[in-house]
Amino acid sequence: MSAIHPSELSFITKHAPFDRMELAHVMWMLERMSLGYYAEGEVIVSPEQGAVDRFLVIKQGMVHGEQNVAHASEADTWLELAEGECFPLGALLANRPVASIYRAGSDTFCYELGAADFGELIGKSAAFRDFCTRRIANLLEHSKQVIQAQYSHSSAEQQSLASPMSAIIRRAPVTCTSETTVRQALEVMREQRIGSMIAVDAQGRPLGIMTLHDVLERIAIPQIDLDQPVINVMSAQLSSLPPQALAHEAALMMAKHGFRHVLVVENEKLVGLVSEKDLFALQRVGLRQIGSTIRHAETPEVLQQGAADIRRMAHSMMAQGVAPEQLTQFISAFNDLLTARVVELECKASGLLGTALHDGLCWMALGSEGRFEQTLNTDQDNAIIFTVPEGMDADQVRAILLPLAKRINETLALCGFPLCKGEIMASNPKWCLSLEEWKRTFNAWISGGSPESLLHASIFFDFRSLYGEHYLADDLHQWLARVASDNSRFLHMMAGNALRNRPPLGVVRDFVLGKENKLDLKLNGITPFVDAARIFSLAAGVTHTNTIQRLRLSAAKMNLHESEIEAWINALLFIQVLRLRHHDQASSQGSCDSALDNLIDPEKLNELDRRILKEAFRQARKLQARLALEYQL
More confident of the two residues 71 and 50: 50
Residue 120 sits in the same domain as residue 231: no
Residue 172 sits in the same domain as residue 221: yes
Contact 346, 407 (CB under 8 A): yes
Nearest to 46 by CA among 62, 61, 67: 67
In tens, the pLDDT along 351-377 reads 999 899 999 999 999 999 999 888 877
Residue 170 sits in the same domain as residue 94: no
Spatial distance between the Cα atoms of 146 and 80, rounded to a whole number of angstroms: 24
Spatial distance between the Cα atoms of 588 and 257, rounded to a whole number of angstroms: 30
Nearest to 128 by CA among 57, 202, 180, 219: 57
Q: Identify the pLDDT of residue 515.
A: 72
Q: Identify the pLDDT of residue 1.
A: 45
Model confidence at 471, in pLDDT bands (50, 70, 90)?
very high
Residue 469 has pLDDT above 90, yes or no: yes
What's the number of domains the chain is made of?
Answer: 2
Spatial distance between the Cα atoms of 547 and 391, rounded to a whole number of angstroms: 41
Residue 10 sits in the same domain as residue 129: yes
Residue 129 sits in the same domain as residue 169: no
Please tell me what DSSP assigns to residue 14. T
Model confidence at 36, in pLDDT bands (50, 70, 90)?
very high
Residue 67 has pLDDT above 70, yes or no: no
- 199: which strand partners? 176, 208
Spatial distance between the Cα atoms of 397 and 410, rounded to a whole number of angstroms: 20
Residue 153 has pLDDT above 70, yes or no: no
> Domain for residue 415, yes or no?
no
Whether pTM > 0.85 for this model: the answer is no
Residue 35 sits in the same domain as residue 128: yes
Long-range contacts at 220-224 (CB < 8 A, ≥ 24 apart): 224/182
In this structure, the number of other CB atoms found within 10 A of the CB of residue 362 comes to 23
Q: How many residues does the chain have?
A: 633
Q: Identify the pLDDT of residue 54.
A: 96
Residue 11 sits in the same domain as residue 100: yes
Identify the sign of the CA torsion 276, 282, 287, 293.
positive
Nearest to 511 by CA among 442, 604, 387: 604
> Domain for residue 364, yes or no?
no
Model confidence at 156, in pLDDT bands (50, 70, 90)?
very low
Residue 11 sits in the same domain as residue 129: yes
> Domain for residue 86, yes or no?
yes
Residue 89 sits in the same domain as residue 172: no
Q: Which domain holds residue 66?
A: 6-133
More confident of the two residues 2 and 608: 608
In tens, the pLDDT along 86-109 reads 999 888 988 889 877 899 989 999
Residue 508 has pLDDT above 70, yes or no: no
Q: Identify the pLDDT of residue 289.
A: 75
Domain boundary among 133, 154, 182: 133
Residue 117 sits in the same domain as residue 23: yes
Spatial distance between the Cα atoms of 565 and 475, rounded to a whole number of angstroms: 29
For the chain, the average pLDDT equals: 86
The C-alpha angle 32, 36, 38, rounded to 5 degrees, equals 165
Residue 214 sits in the same domain as residue 110: no
Spatial distance between the Cα atoms of 401 and 385, rounded to a whole number of angstroms: 10
Domain boundary among 133, 148, 182: 133
More confident of the two residues 277 and 468: 468
Task: Please report, for the domain that includes residue 186, its CATH number.
Answer: 3.10.580.10
Number of H helices, E strands in the chain: 25, 20
Nearest to 174 by CA among 193, 160, 159: 193
> Domain for residue 368, yes or no?
no
Q: Identify the pLDDT of residue 72.
A: 34
Residue 120 has pLDDT above 50, yes or no: yes
> Domain for residue 59, yes or no?
yes
Q: What ranges make up the beta strands (E) of 317-472? A: 361-365, 382-386, 432-434, 464-468
> Domain for residue 329, yes or no?
no
> Domain for residue 105, yes or no?
yes
Contact 321, 144 (CB under 8 A): yes
Q: Identify the pLDDT of residue 132.
A: 84
Kindly list the distances between the CA atom of residue 289 and the CA atoms of 87, 158, 321, 333, in Å, as whole numbers in the listed order: 50, 20, 21, 14
Strands laid side by side in the 63-67 sheet:
43-45, 100-104, 63-67, 78-81
Lowest mean pLDDT: which of 201-210, 419-428, 460-469, 577-586?
A: 577-586
Lowest mean pLDDT: which of 49-53, 167-171, 626-630?
A: 167-171
Nearest to 376 by CA among 332, 338, 410, 344: 332
Question: For residue 538, what are the contacts with CB-CB under 8 A and spacing of at least 6?
Answer: 461, 480, 481, 484, 485, 491, 494
Lowest mean pLDDT: which of 71-85, 220-234, 539-553?
A: 71-85
Task: Please report, for the domain that includes residue 42, its CATH number.
Answer: 2.60.120.10
Residue 115 sits in the same domain as residue 177: no
> Domain for residue 337, yes or no?
no
In percent, the amount of the chain with pLDDT more than 70 equals: 89
In this structure, the number of other CB atoms found within 10 A of the CB of residue 58 comes to 21
Residue 159 has pLDDT above 80, yes or no: no
Domain boundary among 115, 133, 151: 133
Q: Identify the pLDDT of residue 592.
A: 59
Spatial distance between the Cα atoms of 408 and 277, rounded to a whole number of angstroms: 34
In tens, the pLDDT along 171-219 reads 788 999 999 999 999 999 998 888 899 999 999 999 999 998 888 888 9
